[in-house]
Amino acid sequence: MTQTQVIKVSKDLLNKMDETYKKQQLNKKPPYTVFTAKVNGVTVTAYTSGKVMFQGPAAATEAARWGTALSAKKKPAASAVLPPGFDRLSVIGSDEVGNGSYFGPVTVCAAYVAADMITKLKALGVRDSKELTDDQIVKLSHSIKELIPYRLLVLEPKKYNAIQPKYNAVHMKVALHNQAIFLLLNDLAPVKPEGILIDQFTPEANYRKYVRSEKNQVAEKLHFITKGEQYHVAVAAASIICRAAFLEELDEESAELGFNVPSGAGAKSDQTAAKVLKQGGIELLSQYAKLHFANTEKAKKIAGYSN
């Protein structure tokens, strides 16, 4: 009988698992994963969040080598946090991608899905972007953008580095979400959404604290919930659009530099950043990477860069 076990591990233990399973790792690497390996009939999928999923007849045994399985958590009832029937309303959904990746931009998208478009988008295959391959995401993104109104903001690394000392990561995301929603509301006027759902990345009080410092504040009809794509297809659509934009930007960076630029912030990013430093110093690296990440100092040591 196939079993599924999920554990949560530290970054150090995740790195150790990566090394241990190196020879058993598969070539495919879905989004948000560190590695996928096949071990004694068990598929091991390690996610950047620190969660590791074991699937197979001996999943429990293999998982026990590394930690204790997490107890299953029930999805909170939507009625507890959202108005009744929220998933059938005309809603703006908002999500972001790239904040945890050393290379590439931060992309934020606000997407409006009218009630009469919900079924069509679901039939198209619009769902949680983590369940889709990169190719599926890019293809779906093009289809979605032809069907619904949206606003996409792309914060390139160079601009990110310029404003990062003033804006911490959370404040930056609040500003981007707020601006994307504000612009989309202007596009839609006089049509008004019945709700605005933000895939939650910080407590609501914190979001509202930061948004008060923004010029164009959107404060009404806001709802916040983690895994927002499970509660309205608008968030799933926004997630796919901004994920596709992030992937396309990474492809452009790779083409400009002449070698593959990885997502995430692991050892591959350190090695790639070292190559960029050797090629054009910190000035060149600042055009492609978020310099305040710890990867920068690691890359300097690898490259022997002292400036």
Q: Note the pLDDT of residue 74.
A: 47
SS3 14: helix
Give me the architecture of the 84-251 domain, per CATH.
Answer: 2-Layer Sandwich (3.30)
pLDDT over 90 at 62, yes or no: no
Domain with CATH 3.30.310.10 in the chain: 3-64
For residues 60 and 228, give the distance between their C-alpha atoms in angstroms, rounded to a whole number.
Answer: 30
- The predicted structure's pLDDT at residue 81: 76
Tokens of 170: 């959370």
pLDDT 10s digits, 235-289? 999 999 999 999 999 999 999 999 999 999 999 999 999 999 999 999 999 999 9
Q: What are the start and end residues of each CATH 3.30.420.10 domain in the chain? A: 84-251
In the prediction, which pLDDT does 139 show? 93
Q: Torsions phi, psi of 72, nearest 5?
A: -65, 135
* pTM (two decimals): 0.74
CATH architecture observed for domain 3-64: 2-Layer Sandwich (3.30)
Quickly tell me which residue has 């990474």 as its tokens: 250
β-strand 106-113 against 91-97: which pairing, if any?
A: antiparallel
59-83: average pLDDT: 69
d(C-alpha 78, C-alpha 284), whole Å: 46
Flag whether pLDDT at 76 surpasses 60.
no
The shares of helix, strand and coil residues in the chain, as percent rounded to the nearest 5, are: 45, 20, 35
Q: Identify the band that residue 36 occupies on the pLDDT scale cut at 50, 70 and 90.
A: very high
pLDDT band at 71 (very low <50, low <70, confident <90, very high): low
Tell me, what's the pLDDT at 58? 84
